[in-house]
A and B are shown apart, each in its own frame.
Chain A
Amino acid sequence: MVKNKGKKTAFMYIAYSLGACLFLGIPHIIKDPYFMHIIIISVINVCLALSLNLIMITGHVSLAHGAFLGIGAYTSTLLVTRLGIPFWCALPLAGLMAGLVSFLLGLVTLKLRGIYFALATFAFNEILRMIFIGWGNLFGGASGITDIPPPGPISIPGLVTIQFNTKFTYFYIAALFLMLTFFIITRLHRSRTGLIFKAIEEGELLTGCLGINTMKFKIFAFVISSFIAGSAGSIYAHYLHYICPEDFSFWESVNVLVFTVVGGVGTILGPILGSTLLTITPEFLRFTVEYQTLLYGLILILALLFMPQGIHGLLKTITNNIPFRGKTQENVTFEN
């Protein structure tokens, strides 16, 4: 592997670390519970958008993310409330459940492309929502499940006991999950697997002719993305302490899709920016309660008309046009 290390790499590491420290220090800077709430929701949305992005770079638009969020949320809730399994075990199990379901769904639907796949995932989402409502004994019916307990306290003997029933401590769970997700996603994007994902989008037939089992890779992308979404569902459930089927409807899937597209599909920064901005913006629009949704729709239209590459594309255009001292060096990885 030949790596052309530019001077930017060291700079980027420092930037990343600083950013991470700042990010982790948020609860100490922001004391307002409302802002913390918005931040935690944003963090969850970022994970959802990043994971949706993963399946989208293979060229498949999934409208089932809300369903996988729900599968994870309900699984985790039921494991914790009915079987007494601690949150820390329930979280990965929830992700696994979502991954399993997506595996089965993917086997059947990933041979479809474009709108067909989108419609199939949409139908799946709606059917799952109807199951959540209909199977009242298991899922609590249309009014959902209340009194979901937060994760149990962790005590470091002799030092401190950390309770997780406040936003400030729960933030760290969400933040940790985000960092994990970020790590997984960036590794995948930069790996050979990520290249294959993009190759599938550009020409599945050709990629197949190169001897690559495209179906295997597509299912892999789908399962990983659903695993992340399902785990996010667990985090969501134990934060809100209440879940109901309406939170996991097709509209939730659409929301995540919008985050990704407006942020910039195919990039890592894009979904992060898109989900953060689009989670915060409606909160600012609250003052015009009648026009809130209308303005959201208008912003969506304008964003797509003037930023077809998403926010990320816009930023790239701006930064590319700023004259740099010296040449910009790109990180290029070659495979043998």
Chain B
Amino acid sequence: MTTIVIQTLINGLILGSFYVLLAAGLSLIFSIMGVVNFAHGALLMLGAFCSYVFITKLGLNFFLCLLISVGVMVILGFIIQKIIFNPLKGNELNMMVISLGLAIVLENSAVIIWGPDDRVFPFFELGVLKISNVFLPIDRLLILLSAIVLIVGLYILIQKTKIGLAIRAVAQDLDAATLQGINSNTISPFSFGIGCGLAAAAGTLVSPLFLVSPYMGTLPMVKAFVVIVLGGLGSIIGAVIGGIILGLMESLVATFFGAVFQNAISFLILIIVLVLKPEGLFGEK
């Protein structure tokens, strides 16, 4: 029995790390632009396809593809923010709806280019670690490790660098930051770009596990919203803790009560948090 519980917890941790990456990017975008980015799932998908193209057409190493696709998506995010979101600055409702339009465009373009089917992402053929009846597929562990590295990197960027300071300043108070000489016209798109890069990393990392398809981003994005509400909008620590909690909860509920509740539990958590403590665990009111 304990082995099942441990297995479930490990499953949840790995699932959670995926949510963490996605939620961190979404949280960053929200704290900078104050906008609900409905295109985040599509951006995840785009990043995954980017890596897919690089690895299948150019046969590059997986981690190299990861870095390249993150870089590409950061630049793309920068451009998207400038062209699409910046003109609507201040109107959060419009920005939310336009992100929806963006999601539709990206998803359907992917279908036109690559077709609607799932594609297999080539990855190393790794084995399974078995520690006293608990099964740890090595490919999943690798993904977990990469996610940890990325989150730590993000934390360092935001908390310990000058650019991170600028981002936090803009997120806190745009006018005050501008008065301090921070150019929000570069910081905002840059942060959006980082958000996209994180989404691309999340997408690339799970592609070997979950396949690549134009629709792969929608459900994870919804879960990411739950995570940032749970953890608190605008807080990276919140995204980490929230993501882990959600992953664990999903795994526990699905394993012991039935997979059919795997999504329902997320919505339940969302409603409970919103009703009891809307600012989440680490958010500011």
**Cα–Cα distance between A304 and B270 once the two chains are bound (Å):** 29
Interfacial chain A residues near B88, Cβ < 8 Å: 304-305, 308
**Cα–Cα distance between A153 and B275 once the two chains are bound (Å):** 47
In chain A, what residue has the closest Cβ to B109? A294
Chain B CB within 8 A of A277 CB:
no
Cross-chain contact B274 with A301 (CB below 8 angstroms) = no
The range of chain A's interface size is 20 to 34
Chain B CB within 8 A of A199 CB:
no
Cross-chain contact A300 with B94 (CB below 8 angstroms) = no
Cross-chain contact B36 with A115 (CB below 8 angstroms) = yes
Interfacial chain A residues near B271, Cβ < 8 Å: 120, 123-124, 127
Chain B CB within 8 A of A208 CB:
no
Interfacial chain B residues near A124, Cβ < 8 Å: 271
Cross-chain contact B105 with A298 (CB below 8 angstroms) = yes
Interfacial chain A residues near B229, Cβ < 8 Å: 116, 119
**Cα–Cα distance between A254 and B229 once the two chains are bound (Å):** 20
A123-B267, A297-B108 known; A116-B100 Cβ under 8 A = no
**Cα–Cα distance between A183 and B150 once the two chains are bound (Å):** 56
Chain B CB within 8 A of A281 CB:
no
Cross-chain contact B101 with A127 (CB below 8 angstroms) = no
**Cα–Cα distance between A108 and B112 once the two chains are bound (Å):** 43
In chain A, what residue has the closest Cβ to B270? A123
A119-B270, A127-B264 known; A114-B92 Cβ under 8 A = yes
C-beta contact mask, A75-117 vs B, less than 8 Å → 1, else 0?
Answer: 0000000000000000000000000000000001100101110
Cross-chain contact A127 with B267 (CB below 8 angstroms) = yes
| Chain B interface, >50% SS class | helix
A119-B274, A130-B264, A294-B105 known; A301-B225 Cβ under 8 A = no
In chain B, what residue has the closest Cβ to A290? B112
In chain A, what residue has the closest Cβ to B274? A120
Chain A CB within 8 A of B170 CB:
no
Chain A CB within 8 A of B87 CB:
yes
* A115 CB contact (under 8 Å) in B84, B101, B233: B233
Interfacial chain B residues near A228, Cβ < 8 Å: none
Chain B CB within 8 A of A17 CB:
no
**Cα–Cα distance between A118 and B35 once the two chains are bound (Å):** 12
Cross-chain contact B98 with A304 (CB below 8 angstroms) = yes
Output the least CB separation between A41 and chain B (Å): 20
A119-B229, A294-B104, A305-B87 known; A109-B275 Cβ under 8 A = yes
Cross-chain contact A305 with B112 (CB below 8 angstroms) = no
Cross-chain contact B274 with A294 (CB below 8 angstroms) = no
Chain A CB within 8 A of B13 CB:
no
Chain B CB within 8 A of A261 CB:
yes
Output the least CB separation between B251 and chain A (Å): 20
Interfacial chain B residues near A254, Cβ < 8 Å: 100
The range of chain B's interface size is 20 to 34
Cross-chain contact A261 with B94 (CB below 8 angstroms) = yes
- List residues of B (83-117) whose CB comes within 8 Å of A's CBs: 84, 87-88, 91-94, 96-98, 100-105, 108-109, 112
Name, among A114, A123, A258, A305, the residue most crowded by chain B CB atoms within 10 Å (CB to CB).
Answer: A123
Interfacial chain A residues near B264, Cβ < 8 Å: 127, 130
**Cα–Cα distance between A305 and B268 once the two chains are bound (Å):** 36
- List residues of A (109-168) whose CB comes within 8 Å of B's CBs: 109, 112, 114-116, 118-120, 123-124, 126-127, 130
Chain B CB within 8 A of A296 CB:
yes
Interfacial chain A residues near B98, Cβ < 8 Å: 300-301, 304-305
Output the least CB separation between B211 and chain A (Å): 22
Cross-chain contact B97 with A304 (CB below 8 angstroms) = yes
Cross-chain contact B36 with A297 (CB below 8 angstroms) = no
Interfacial chain A residues near B101, Cβ < 8 Å: 297-301, 304
Interfacial chain A residues near B270, Cβ < 8 Å: 119-120, 123
Cross-chain contact B87 with A61 (CB below 8 angstroms) = no
Interfacial chain B residues near A297, Cβ < 8 Å: 101-105, 108
**Cα–Cα distance between A298 and B96 once the two chains are bound (Å):** 15
Contacts A/B (CB < 8 Å), 11 sampled? A108-B275, A109-B275, A115-B36, A119-B229, A120-B274, A120-B275, A290-B112, A291-B108, A291-B112, A294-B109, A304-B88
Residues of A within 8 A of B (CB): 61, 108-109, 112, 114-116, 118-120, 123-124, 126-127, 130, 254, 257-258, 261-262, 265, 290-291, 293-294, 296-301, 304-305, 308
Beyond A115-B36, A265-B93, A304-B98: 14 further Cβ-contacts under 8 Å? A61-B93, A108-B275, A116-B278, A120-B270, A127-B271, A130-B264, A258-B97, A293-B108, A294-B104, A297-B101, A297-B103, A300-B97, A300-B104, A305-B84
Complex A-B, nearest 10 residue pairs according to Cβ-Cβ distance, in ascending order = A297-B104, A300-B101, A294-B108, A297-B105, A301-B101, A123-B267, A304-B98, A120-B274, A123-B270, A261-B97
